[in-house]
Amino acid sequence: MTDLGWAEPLWLETSLADSGEGLARSAVAAGADVVIASGGDGTVTACAAGVAGTGVPLGVLPCGTGNLLARNLGLPLDLNAALAVALAGDDRLLDVGEANGQTFVVMAGLGFDAVMLAGTSELLKKHAGWLAYALSGLRHLWDRPTRMTIKADDGPPLDRSASGVIIGNVGTLQGNVHLLPDAVPDDGALDVAVLTAWGAIGWLVLASDVLRRRKTIQVTWLTCRELVVETRRARPWQVDGDVIGFGRRLVVRVRPATLLVRVPAGPAA
């Protein structure tokens, strides 16, 4: 930082009591020129909630299991290179989402993905990385779909049995899987995938449909500014990898052009 002409940084450490949002707000109040979040997507999202709407840019040092925001924005995963971008990159104005009032910058979801995340231990993530999520998902392939009513903006409600609903500000998962192929983080909208499968064969067919970007009864894509999901039985829901609640209703909205993020400098930014 000294080599690039920066003053001594203010260090703030996350805790169980504050995963980043309050710390980021404190940094902004102290006059920080940039807030740099070092951690996984959960920590990055918490810091994003603290700086969104302030005009202070957010830098990302990706130290988590998935690092999906960094991957989708083309940020380097090497920490030295990521720090250089956070200090000297360009600023890109992004949308953020809110799920039941909780900020997210990557994806929110209800149903299968939240169940999978809840069943993934920290120890397994430490040793297996993002494959730990896939191993957890194998245990839930035979979970029965749930009857859901899904309403996007002012459109007609979609009534179907579904395994899960995923809402994304960005759309690419690990392994370069484009779950939400049309998602763009600064288009003022959110992209939605409604997934329905049961059993190993059913999920293999669904995976094939996703990879081929084929809209079927097993996968339906939507684009909206607001989404309301109501379920017949209570299901867990998550934002950016953290399971937040358990209920029968999820309301998701986009906040357009709200968050400045440091990205690599140049035309690609």
Q: Which DSSP string do the residues of 114-157 spell out, in sequence order?
A: HHHHHT--HHHHHHHTTHHHHHHHHTTTTPPPEEEEEEETTSPP
pLDDT of residue 175: 80
Q: Encoding tokens for residue 103? A: 């900020």
Q: Is the pTM of this model over 0.85?
A: yes
pLDDT of residue 72: 95
pLDDT of residue 190: 98
User: For the chain, what is the mean pLDDT?
Assistant: 91
Q: Is the pLDDT of residue 131 over 90?
A: no
Same fold, 21-95+258-263 and 102-256: no
pLDDT of residue 138: 74
Of the two residues 66 and 226, the one the predictor is more confident about is 226
On whether the CB atoms of residues 106 and 85 are closer than 8 A, the answer is no
How far is residue 93's CA from residue 95's CA, in Å, rounded to a whole number?
7
pLDDT of residue 150: 97
Q: Encoding tokens for residue 88? A: 């000297």
Q: Is the pLDDT of residue 260 over 90?
A: yes
Residue ranges of domains in the chain: 21-95+258-263, 102-256
Q: Encoding tokens for residue 146? A: 């749930």
Confidence of residue 1 (pLDDT cuts 50, 70, 90): confident
pLDDT of residue 170: 96
**Range 165-170 average pLDDT:** 97
**Range 181-205 average pLDDT:** 95
Q: Is the pLDDT of residue 85 over 60?
A: yes
**Beta strand pairing status for 226-239 and 58-62?**
unpaired
CA of 248: how far to CAs of 218, 228, 234, 264, in Å?
21, 11, 4, 41
CATH assignment, 21-95+258-263: 3.40.50.10330
Could you tell me the fold of the domain covering 102-256?
Tumour Suppressor Smad4 (2.60.200)
Least confident window among 26-30, 97-101, 117-121, 138-142:
117-121
**Range 250-255 average pLDDT:** 98
Confidence of residue 141 (pLDDT cuts 50, 70, 90): confident
pLDDT of residue 125: 63
**Range 134-157 average pLDDT:** 87
pLDDT of residue 248: 97
